Structures are given as structure tokens and as C-alpha cells.
Structure 1
Amino acid sequence: MSLLEVDSWSRECEACSTLSESIKLKLAKREKGQKNSVQYNRLTAAIQTELKQFEGEVKELKQKLRLLEDAQSIAPEEVILRKQQVDALQTQLAQVHRKITQDTNWERAELFAQSPVDTDRAGGSTENAFPTNNVSDVNALKQRQIDILERQNRGLEILSQTISRQKNLASQLGQEVGNQNDILDNLADTMERVDAHVHVETGNISEVDRRDSTWGYWLIIIVLFVAIIIVAVV
């Protein structure tokens, strides 16, 4: 496992944590603002964008970890550590979703709590309130539809970028596997050549040992032959 890979994983985890904190800050800031104001709508759009990005980054980290685990490119201890980091990020994501759901439910309850009777008690005319509320509701609905379309477009862009990154990751993993296979092939060829040299050298050593033992026999034969000649002469 390379140091670059560890640094990349750490940076991505830190980026996800930063997104989580940014979303929580925007939610807190939005609670203090006025409903349906320009700043409120901008904060809502920014929250939705960062939330989509947060979800995409966490999903990408899970897929990347699964690929690395299947390829056995990292140690088991590192796999466990990274799973814990991904679980922590998923917990943060669930907390953000829970907070957004609570805010949405509260806004709906507040909207349904308003009625024409309250407007009439405040001194306004019921007949004049209905047209004003209708126009306001139509404008708010149009603005929400525009915001939804913008969020969908941004979500599609983020999805496209995520798919592109995943494609690049798969390509890099395939290239790394190919490189590892080449290294293994070269190692196998080298081992075969070394084995052949070992066999040759073993044969040479055996031949030298055999020749050395033959010289000893010849020396004994010559000494005996000389001894026989001396005995015969005497």
C-alpha cells in the first residue's frame, strides 16, 4: 500500500467531515432566518447541494474500500480502520438527514397551523386575505419548483462527476493489476533461469568430485605397480 493512497483516503474522509460540519452550520443559520426569504432559499439550495455531494462522497468511499478489500491491496487492520471511518461518516450523514427532516416537519406544521380565522382576528379582511395568500403561495410554489430543478441539475452534475471518478478509479485498479501480473511473470522467468543455472552448477560440481576420486585410484595403482617391480627385481 503506497503512502499516496493513504493520504488520498485521509483527504477524502476529511473532506466529508468538512461537508458535514458545513451543512450543520447552514442549517443552524437557516433556522435564525426568515422563511421564504432570499437568504433562506439560498441556504436551502446550498444545503441540498452539499448534502448530495456528501452522500456521493460517502458512497464513493464505500465502493473504493470494497474494491481494495476484494483486491487485497491493503492490510486487514487498515480495512477495519477504514470501515470504522466510513461508519462514522454514515452516522454523520444520518444525523444531517434527521435534522433536515425535523426542520421540514416543523415548517409543514407551522404552515398548516395558519388559517384565515387568524388573519380575520388580526383585523384583516378574509376576502382580501385569500387572494393575497393565493398569490404568495403561487409565487412560493414557483420558486420552490425552480429551486428543485436547480438542485436536480446540480445533483446530475455531481452524479456525473462521481461516475467519472469511479471510472478512473477502476481504470487505475486495472492498470495496477496488469503491472502486478507483469512483475509476477518476470519473477517466474527469473526463477526458471536461476533454477537452470543451479542444475548446471550442480552437475559441474558432481563432475569435479568424480574426477578427484579417480585421480586417487590412479595414484594407488601406480604405487602398487612400482612396489611390484621393486619386489620382482629384488
Structure 2
Amino acid sequence: MALLNLGEDPWLVEYESCEKLYRDIMEQLMQRQKLSRTSDKYSHLSATIRLRLKQYNNEVGQLKQKLDITTRSDSITAAESERRTRQLEILHSNSIKMQNLFQNQASSKAQEDRIRLMGDAGASAWGDSQTRDELSNYSADQLKTDQKRMLDEQEQGLDNLAQIISRQKNIAHTISNEVDLHNEILDDLGTHIDRTDNRVRTETQHISVVEAKDKTCIYWVVIILLFISIIAVAAI
């Protein structure tokens, strides 16, 4: 059976959505590569990329399931089924590429931080890439300067970490205050509900009394009318 309305096929629409998501994730990975691993933006972007990678894999899985269904139902031709299978393979390959890039970025950033904090082993006195002449030219003053620079960078990294922890603490306090406020509101609401319930019960009792009195009055009116009727009949 020939495939009709390819431009409006839901499978093709979802496939284009996957491709767009792939381009967006790659753009975010490029932005992440330029950021410092200790920055808030790096952490936020990393969390966003993780979620979007999971979304991408889920959408690719859904596309595969739908392709299997349409292939079994002969809704598309064999050639079209093969073409879409190759497209899915490309999507899957892109997923592996993005995952590897994401992990490699984290590893390279960690390595850069270690080099920044501990110093490049290749540039130290114990490195294998320098000759003895170059090591002899590395003065004590230069060594002190490099050590001071590394300590300053390490302290800066610790300061950034302390700021992040402080912000997380403030967020936790804010959430705790919001929860306490909501609990107070719920307590007040419960008190108002209890008061309203008591008033409703009291008013219900009053209504019952009024209804009983109304019924008694009706009975007396009927009795009086009967008494008057008896007297009128006796007089006749």
C-alpha cells in the first residue's frame, strides 16, 4: 500500500521534532563547554541537558514502536519502512554521540580543574616533557608565584562552592518558611471549618424547634375549628 500524505504523517512530524531536539541539545552542549564547572550556569545547563537527553531517548523509542506498528499493519511500503529504519539508526547514533560528548566534557572539565589546582605535571620539576636545562631555568621565585596563583584559584573555587552552598541553604530556609506558613493557613482553615460546622448544627436545631412549634400551632387551629363546628351543629 502506498504512503499517503507524507507531509502530514504524525511519524514524520515526530521525527522532525526529534531532529530539532537534537540540534537544541548540541547547541547547549557547545554552550556548556565554554562555562566553568563551578559556575551555577554550568550546573543548571547540565541538569537541563540530562533531562533533554532522556526526553530524546524516549521520543526515539516511541518512534521505533510506532514504526513497528505501521510496518506490521502494511500502512507504509517496504521501501518507506526501510528508509525510516535508517532514519531511526541515525537518531540512535546521535543519542550515543551526545551522551559521549556530555560525559567527555565533564571529564575534561574535571581534569582542567585538577590541573588548575595542583599544577600541570608536565610543567613541574618532575615532568617528562621538559629537559634538565629548562628545569634549571625554573627559579624559586617563579615556583612561589605559581604556587600562590594555584592557591588563589583554589581559594576562589572554594569561595564559589561556599556561595553555592549558602544559596542552597537560603532556598531551603525559604521552602521551610513557606511550609510553615501553609501549615498555619491550614490550621486556621480547620478552625474556621469547625466553627462553621457548630453554627450549622445550632441553626439546624433551631429550625427543628421552629418546625415543631409550627406543627403544634396547626394542630390547635384544627382543634378550635372542629370545636366551633361541633357547637354550630349542636345549636342547629
- What is the aligned partner in structure 1 of residue 231 from structure 2? 229
Contact 1:54 1:93 survives alignment (8 Å): no
- Structure 1 residue 218 and structure 2 residue 220: aligned? yes
The one-letter amino acid paired with 2:156 is: R
| Per-residue Cα deviation, 1:78-107 (whole angstroms, up to 9, x for no partner) | xxx99726989xx776332333578899x8
- What is the aligned partner in structure 2 of residue 33 from structure 1? none
Q: Higher helix proportion, which one?
A: 1
The one-letter amino acid paired with 1:184 is: L
Alignment match of 2:194 (pick from 185, 192, 197): 192
Structure 1 spans left out of the alignment, 5+ residues: 1-16, 26-46, 63-80, 117-129
Distance 2:155 2:226 in 1: 107
Question: Equivalent residue of 2:175, what SS?
Answer: helix
| Per-residue Cα deviation, 1:50-102 (whole angstroms, up to 9, x for no partner) | 222259845xx98xxxxxxxxxxxxxxxxxx99726989xx776332333578
Percent sequence identity is: 28
Give aligned pairs, total: 159
The 5 Å alignment of 1:73-112 reads 84=51, 94-100=103-109, 112=128
Question: Equivalent residue of 2:138, what SS?
Answer: helix
Alignment match of 2:38 (pick from 25, 42, 52): 52
Structure 2 spans left out of the alignment, 5+ residues: 1-25, 56-98
Distance 2:181 2:165 in 1: 24
- What is the aligned partner in structure 2 of residue 163 from structure 1? 165
| Per-residue Cα deviation, 1:166-193 (whole angstroms, up to 9, x for no partner) | 2211211111011101110110111012
Distance 2:134 2:158 in 1: 36
- What is the aligned partner in structure 2 of residue 71 from structure 1? none
Contact 1:52 1:155 survives alignment (8 Å): yes
Shift of 1:221: 0.7
Q: Between the two structures, name the one with larger relative contact order (CA 8 Å, sep ≥ 6).
A: 1
- What is the aligned partner in structure 2 of residue 206 from structure 1? 208
Contact 1:55 1:93 survives alignment (8 Å): no
Contact 2:40 2:164 survives alignment (8 Å): no
CA RMSD of aligned residues (A): 4.4
Contact 1:20 1:54 survives alignment (8 Å): no
